[in-house]
Chains A and B, each alone.
Chain A
């Protein structure tokens, strides 16, 4: 199969989606031309320039780092269409109007190269009808490519083929989107709203319907339909506010127009209250007022009975809360269904109707059940897709319950469940041989596209039998904290070191495990990859530290810190390469481990930082030491080799303000990772790549770095410079006295102690200074109070 090469891309339409798609292409190292209409006045690129400016301010940032913006060039249809000839991929993301899109296609078609892929990001229009706007030869290279908002963060991309799309082109595109852009690709059919929105928006409609039926408040429903049932924190109505109420209404109307034969058609209507809000210009987040609004510090919610806003109060009844906590899904669903509490009945109703809808529509909208479940996970942030949820709750009993509710008229539609649901004593839709394809009447295995071989442990739906990391491979060493194992079928010589602790926090048992595992690896292996599922590590085990503090065991704590430092050094000076495979958070001690590894493979979404200041501490596992060393190394390359201060300044701020990188690229900018490290866009490929990187380093004759000697430090003058910043912040009431003390300790550790500027020290000296400053802080009641509060509430204490 030929590989898709995208040397340059174009995005047509600089709206919310178009601009953010352009940003993500730039993140992936693809230069982008971002087109829009020429501005009527002034600079003809005015519309796009404004959009680019918007990208800078958007939170969470669509840009992996601000400098990525430079790789998006503004363009307009009047002046720059000839530039399309140099683009290998053109993504159209203009307003959802068939006539406008056809007009644009006619205009751009003569400029497209013969090999370019043109893809539409439409979320509702028919891809086959869109293709009719193109000349015949261009249609083979046309398809739908449906991103979800925000495109950097939402994993899902739906690819929709037309009748004429070239199959090999689609495979190349899927491969590229998966590996280069890091997306989860689902092949959707050309049916209205495709898969994720079809089910996801139906689910919202069902929630709205039953909100009214059961007389619940919007805030109450959000409390019920958020994380408590495995859905995002923004739940239902806050999601609607974020999406934009006008946009939501538009999607609902599209369903109304395009799905006349859908058995649920009568429910595809914009509720009167929603129309009223839109009429008042209350469109949600973008107008700062929608279903929710913020008045001062208070969050208020629209109350339909009072016809006004009132303070929002999340309230889930205790008995319902108990049901939702039940570990076994079958019991949970039985309890919800059997309860008379309106909240429980509501929850059963919304699940039932979505199950019902998916069962009826599966054969029409998707190739198989896995596509539906993954689409909802990746496009709507559900922890579990609808069909796997059903399967987990007991396929047959739920099917019976749904059938009973259809019969009694409780379900939103009287459409019967399809025969396959209950045929052959079915126990679910996901099985060892694949996931059920209702259209084809067989189980569909996973895609065999070679790109998926890079995912050693792909995301699986419930019921699939793919191995979990914990139960795979051969164990070489294991203690309470870690497991060192190998995957012999991939590389028997590279060990995989995985932390077993909750959130991969680093406690005494992890430190012991790391030291033992590295020692074993040096003797018996060629390399080590530190890998487990996200997060990489949330830091030191605060509970252990807090408990020891309370017991006054400071000598033991000092030994633990020394052991932490030894563990970091073990990574750095191991005789075999240690490759950290990082995804998600790597905070505090986790960051220190990352910094000390011989090499790093980082998922784009890596959030790395030295956040110890939040609990009144400084990095004590070699983090301050490592930055003192790095500042000296950076200075050595400058015109003033002994002047480390300029290089310490940004580091000091990052530690004092507990800054966390918002991407792998930012982590490199902050100095937590290095420019020579590998950044991967698809976290599922981390282990695959890290194993190979470790092997390559070993094959290249890896030798650990020599211990740094003769390190110039900033000393007393450096400390005074930082203290000057701190004095101003404290006098300006921006930091507390204890913040001052913590930040000054970081300054001392970074500057190599109270010695003359330019003094030469070694690594052990720096470690000792770091340890002493750490222990001084640990002995203060303020730091102990911060640790205690963090343990109890998870929120930092400002004291």
Chain B
């Protein structure tokens, strides 16, 4: 297998309209999660990661167009209109408000028009692990096809559909979420778009990492609750470490999934303990952005690459006191530290778990 590089595409969240703006805000420990009036089914004011500049109609389509504009501004048109560039999109609900019309139709139209794509668009919709699977699939294409570059876009927008759904499951937190904390109450939903570019060669002078390997695994246990033993996550990380020929002691940092629900965070702590990663520093970035579903894997990988670039580990916003049975090393404060190799994990509905390993380029 040949060397695979990855660099920043763009990142749009409540904290900013570019990768840099987002990271600047994160360094100041800002959170994009705010109480939104009447966002609940019974007019509750849920805390959500809402991008205030998006219009109330067409949020998804506007966000996707904005991301395309950013990509062209940063990378130029040729990268995207090239025959040897493939685009993979990760989204759980896409333009859900288009129903009863096709919810994924606008995605293809916008991307084809804005980026002048020459190839088929690969769409992955696998709940909250979509983003990590999409990056893993991008690496597969680089390893086994003629594509030189693969652009991975993760995107989901806020909708009543999603907020009411998580509300109906009693999974929403009535305060900004506190992943892994003793007093965590649940999820804050967010919206975002994150884009990375994987390639066979470095594409510019910006910071790049090497993609080392990745995998997914199903819990084979429950469709909407995580395994009590962390089985799928345990298997996925083991598979990923084997593929990357990396052992647990070589991992400097974990960008965990950490939604802020009791069951999910507990499950992750058990899996990391079983994997020999109980002392490895980790955070959940859900305190900064909320849970952005199909975008989560992407914006969390981008943020973690920024941490690698600047050798700083950002604290897990909302975490104060250990709230899982296994005392994993959740970062209470940000700290400067050399970060060479990182593990990204994700878990989601359908029993899915996915992971990948990245290493700073020498």
Q: Say whether A and B bind each other.
A: no
